[in-house]
Amino acid sequence: MITVVHCLAIGILVFWCGKWLVHAMAITYGKLKLHKKTNGVTNQPRETPYPTVSILKPLMGVDPNLASNLETFFLMDYPSQYELLFCIECPDDPAIDVVNRLREKYPNIETSLLLGGSDVGDTLTDMVNHMTERVGLVHQMPFVCDREGFAAAFEKIYFGTVQSRIYLCADLLGINCHTGMSCMMRKDVLDELGGIQAFGCYLAEDFFLAKGFHDAGWKLSISSQPAWQNSGICDISSFQARLTRWAKLRVAMVPGTILLEPLSECVIVGMFACWAAKILFRWNPLVFFLIHTLFWFLSDWVLLSIIQNGSLPFNKFTFFVGWAFRELSGPYLFFNALWNPAIRWRTRVYKLAWGGVAYELTSQIKS
């Protein structure tokens, strides 16, 4: 006789199988999609010339690696013209000096420094090549550079497993997963949507920009090259604060995240699945959970290796420790985000309404 408990167990196992399908899709799609040379890079002729590109780079404050990170924009290998638009709100921001030094160093690159605000490699070539006829917005999957220390390994493990798994599957299924790390969009479509100012009420304006393109009938696509982050501040507490802030954004933008995200964690879904397997098949729950965790661990190692596209800067033991720490701390950070929904970014504090609209609570920017 099938009882309510049996139906619940079946539903849990179906969801658990779906999570493994996500693993398989991410690994397969990542292997096929990432780090591939597009037709423009292999010197094959294009039917249309490369367009002129404007790169918008908002800045606020200075971190230890800002100069070297910004310099990569001046050194890009792109067969056509591009311009750099540096946007800084405060006229006394120290980032202005960094930008001006780079502009003097590379006078052949067309640049503009835009001040003010209101309260409202061949990477570029690769992104342009992905801007096909029906694609309106191309974005890059976030990843991190190789750095020393456990905190750096922890960051790389997160972006190469949890983040990339969802990112790749969402792109494969045509779901909006844009995080705003790096993107290219059609200006005429953006103008039709009301321009950038139309999305100024959102703290995660990148997600809603992509949503606007998608709702207008345009496809979204990730490029084959990830966006390599090189933050000057690398420690566990700072990164966990970022993870908590992102969780708050996801909850406000997609309320279903409150239920689905905790159930997507290895430990939580594994515990539910081993209970369901015991109810339906009388399997040993401890053995089931250990096998589940082992295969999850191995799948994440394979996916991270694909994203890295080379040897990892740490050994398997460091990966195990970092992976276990991420899996055990993930649910805590998520529930902590639910407990305190206010978001601190730089020197400002925001509160999000349902739907992602941001309201500033305090402002500590000096005039």
Q: Which residues are known catalytic residues? A: 206
Cα separation of 166 and 306, whole Å?
15
Q: How many other C-beta atoms are found inside a 10 Å radius of the C-beta of residue 120?
A: 6
The strand pairing partners of 88, in sequence order, are 59, 115
Cα separation of 194 and 192, whole Å?
5
Cα separation of 225 and 60, whole Å?
26
**In the chain, at which residue ranges do the beta strands (DSSP E only) sit?**
53-59, 82-88, 110-115, 135-139, 142-144, 183-185, 219-222, 227-229, 343-345, 348-352, 358-363
Cα separation of 141 and 47, whole Å?
27
Nearest to 53 by CA among 147, 151, 138: 138
Cα separation of 61 and 69, whole Å?
14
250 Rama class: left (phi>0) / alpha (psi -120 to 50) / beta: alpha
| Residues 49-67 as b or e (16 or more Cβ within 10 Å = b) | ebeebebebebbeeeebbb
The strand pairing partners of 114, in sequence order, are 87
CA Rg value for the chain: 22
The token pair that represents 157 in the structure block: 């493990």
Q: Cα 163 vs. chain centroid, distance in angstroms?
A: 6
Give residue for tokens 């167990």. 9
* DSSP designation for 159: I
188 Rama class: left (phi>0) / alpha (psi -120 to 50) / beta: alpha
